[in-house]
Structure formats: structure tokens, C-alpha cells
Amino acid sequence: QLETLEQEEQECLELRPHPTEKTTHIVSHEHGMTVTKTLQEGEAEPQCHSFSYSRGRLRARLLEGAGLLLLRVLARRQTMPPDLVFPAINTEGDLCTSSY
């Protein structure tokens, strides 16, 4: 049983004259998971947006780290079940599916 406790992704774009930094922080808690997205463009005030998912909506969902671990296990076993699809959360924190 794999469970993601916390995940953070940071993306930096060195665009002149306004470099941009985007971070997505996902943290698990007793009621589900909270996603906080922050966007910093140049010298402007950072824009922050936070939202949560309940445990019920997250049931059996894979985050990026767990998906990478799953791919390593499948590669080690040298087997791939046909049409393998998992409910997932993408790097933006949105609910989606992941096909292998």
C-alpha cells in the first residue's frame, strides 16, 4: 500500500524582463489532501491558490512519485498488464487518469 505524504514541484522560467516561478505543493492530512499552487511573476506579489480533495475522491489515486515507483516495479518484473490505467493527480494538482 503506497501513500504519498507530501510532494512539491517547482518550475522556473527565466523570461526577460519577468522571470516566472511556479510551485505546486501537495500535502496529505487526515481528511484528504491539500494542493497549494503559487505563481510568482517578476517582482509582482505572488499569486497563491489552495484547494483540497477528500479521502473519498482520492481513493486509489497515484501521484507522480508513486507512479514513478510503479513504473520501476513493472520494469523490474519485465511485464506490463494490457490497458493499465490508474486514477491520478497531475503536476497541477488536477484529478485525471494515467495510462501505461
Q: Are 7 and 63 in contact (CB under 8 A)?
A: yes
Distance (Å) of CA 32 to CA 20, 40, 49, 50, 97: 30, 27, 17, 13, 18
pLDDT for the residue 49: 93
**Using one digit for the tens of pLDDT, what is the confidence trace for 81-94?**
888 888 887 777 78
Asked if the structure places residue 59 within a domain, the reply is yes
pLDDT tens-digit series, residues 26-76: 898 999 889 899 999 988 899 999 999 888 887 777 777 777 788 888 889
Q: What per-residue confidence (pLDDT) applies to 1?
A: 64
- The answer to the question of residue 1 being in a domain is no
Total-model pTM: 0.71
Domain containing 78 equals 6-99
pLDDT at 94: 80
If one counts the domains in the chain, the total is 1
Three-state SS for 10-25 is: EEEECCCCCCEEEEEE
- Is residue 43 in a domain? yes
Task: Indicate whether 31 belongs to any domain.
Answer: yes
Q: pLDDT band for position 2 (50/70/90)? A: low
Please report whether residue 58 resides in a domain.
yes
Give the Cα separation of 7 and 67 in Å (integer): 12
Is residue 52 in some structural domain?
yes
